[in-house]
Every structure is written in structure tokens, then in C-alpha cells.
């Protein structure tokens, strides 16, 4: 139907030339930000409850509209309507909505169970991904550079485990458990070094220095890979 195609263009396609599409994106961005306000208030009051109520109604309407146009997005015919709820963004939408459903009908015992999962409302922050072009570019960079990033991540994890094993055996008085050694290795590798656990022996101090030096490279390598990939995506987008 023609109305569904027009609806899809507004809610899904981020078209700079489509004024309604731009307005819808901006409106949803504002709603997402407003919906986070109640999460920053420990004791709920009438204002925060009203904000939560209004925003969750808008999120539900948005979810239904996207479900109605799922076939235009996934292009799998009727199967699209069954598959859409399991797509990453749809899952985020649903998880961010369900904890607040109790506001709509608190008499239903089943819905009261969602009060246990109100913390999941923080997932509303991730809804911004849909409307941010820069974030989507970064996600694409991570997808394209995942092999190089996995190699760097593997090296970092390997070094953490090896240095933790050495420290755990070299300084038993300092590290009462292997987890303490892993914790120390991690904060040393990232050059944070909280100072609550530190090496005492000469070997331990040498390993600490090596961890700090290796940590600089570990942080710099993925940063360089992501930056290069990001610039490549930006240049590619500008050339279109």
C-alpha cells in the first residue's frame, strides 16, 4: 500500500530531503533523552511518572509502526513480520519498553513482573543508534575491522592471563586469588593503575613496567585501526 511506503520513508529512511523524516528523527531523539530523565531520579514523583508514561506510549506507537513496515525494511515478504521482533534494534526497542508497561495497567499480575527489570530501561539510550549517522559509521568500522581488532584483543587477553599467572605465583602474599592477579594485570595493561594492589618484588615491578609499556601499544593499535576505518568511511560517504 502507498501509505505504508510513505510511512516507511518517514520512520526508517533518514532522508535529508524529506522534512517529515527529519522532524520524526529529531522528535524521537528528544523523546529518548526525555525518557532517560526518570532513570536519574531515585524516588519517583508525579512528573517522572508522567514523563515515563508519555514516552513509553510514543515508543509503543513507534514499535508498532516499524512492525507494520517490516516487509519494506527486511524485504522478505510476510516472513519479515515474524523476523522483525528479533532484529537487534527491535530487541532494544522491546527491552526498553517492557519495564514500563506496568504503568499502563498495574492490575495485571504478569506485567507486574516487569518491575524487576526496570533497570533495562537504560537500553533506551541505545535507541539513539538508529538516528545517529556517526554511530552507525563507527559500527560499520568495527564490523569491517573486526579481524584486526580481534587479533589485538586476543594479544591483550593473552598478555593479561600470562602476566597474571606469573604474578600470582611470584607474589602469593600480594595476590590471594588468581582473580586479584587478573584484576591487577588488567588495570596495569590499561595504564590505570589504581594502586590498591601493587607489586613488591623486583620481578613483579619489572612485569608492571612491561605491562604499562605494552598497554600503551594495546590502546594505541585499536584506536589507530578504528580512526583509519572511520576516515575511510567518511571519505567514501563524501564521494557518493
3-state helix, strand, coil in the chain (%, to 5): 80, 0, 20
Q: What is the pLDDT of residue 16?
A: 66
pLDDT values of the chain reduced to their tens digit, one per residue, 240 residues? 678 888 888 887 666 677 888 888 888 888 888 888 877 776 777 888 888 888 888 888 999 999 998 888 888 888 888 998 998 888 888 877 877 665 555 544 444 455 445 556 666 677 767 767 777 788 888 888 888 889 888 888 888 888 888 888 888 888 888 888 888 888 877 766 556 677 777 887 887 788 778 777 777 888 888 888 888 888 877 665
For the chain, domains (ranges, CATH) are 2-131 (1.20.120), 144-239 (1.10.287.70)
Output Rg (C-alpha) for the chain, integer angstroms: 24
Contact at 8 Å (CB) between 41 and 35? no
Q: What is the pLDDT of residue 124?
A: 66
Q: What is the pLDDT of residue 192?
A: 61
CA distance 183 to 178: 9
Q: Show Cβ contacts of residue 72 under 8 Å, excluding neighbours closer than 6 positions.
A: 4, 5, 8, 12
Q: What is the pLDDT of residue 108?
A: 47
CA distance 90 to 67: 9
CA distance 39 to 57: 17
Max Cα–Cα distance, the chain, nearest Å: 75
Phi/psi of residue 191, nearest 5 degrees:
60, 20
Amino acid at each position: 500500500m502507498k501509505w505504508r511506503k510513505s510511512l516507511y520513508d518517514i520512520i526508517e529512511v533518514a532522508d535529508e530531503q524529506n522534512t517529515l523524516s527529519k522532524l520524526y528523527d529529531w522528535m524521537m531523539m528528544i523523546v529518548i533523552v526525555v525518557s532517560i530523565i526518570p532513570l536519574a531520579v531515585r524516588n519517583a514523583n508525579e512528573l517522572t511518572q508522567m514523563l515515563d508514561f508519555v514516552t513509553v506510549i510514543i515508543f509503543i506507537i513507534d514499535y508498532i509502526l516499524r512492525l507494520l513496515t517490516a516487509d519494506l525494511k527486511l524485504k522478505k515478504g510476510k516472513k519479515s513480520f515474524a523476523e522483525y521482533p528479533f532484529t537487534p534494534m527491535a530487541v532494544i526497542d522491546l527491552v526498553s519498553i517492557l519495564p514500563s508497561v506496568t504503568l499502563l495497567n498495574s492490575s495485571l499480575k504478569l506485567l507486574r513482573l516487569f518491575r524487576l527489570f526496570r533497570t533495562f530501561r537504560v537500553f533506551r539510550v541505545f535507541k539513539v543508534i538508529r538516528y545517529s549517522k556517526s554511530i552507525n559509521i563507527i559500527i560499520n568500522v568495527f564490523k569491517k575491522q573486526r579481524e584486526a581488532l580481534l587479533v589485538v584483543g586476543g594479544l591483550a587477553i593473552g598478555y593479561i592471563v600470562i602476566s597474571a599467572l606469573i604474578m600470582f605465583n611470584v607474589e602469593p602474599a600480594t595476590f590471594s586469588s588468581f582473580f586479584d592477579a587478573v584484576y591487577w594485570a588488567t588495570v596495569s595493561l590499561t595504564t590505570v593503575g589504581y594502586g590498591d594492589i601493587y607489586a613488591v618484588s623486583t620481578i613483579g615491578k619489572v612485569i608492571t613496567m612491561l605491562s604499562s609499556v605494552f598497554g600503551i601499544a594495546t590502546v594505541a593499535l585499536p584506536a589507530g585501526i578504528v580512526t583509519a576505518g572511520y576516515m575511510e568511511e567518511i571519505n567514501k560517504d563524501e564521494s557518493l
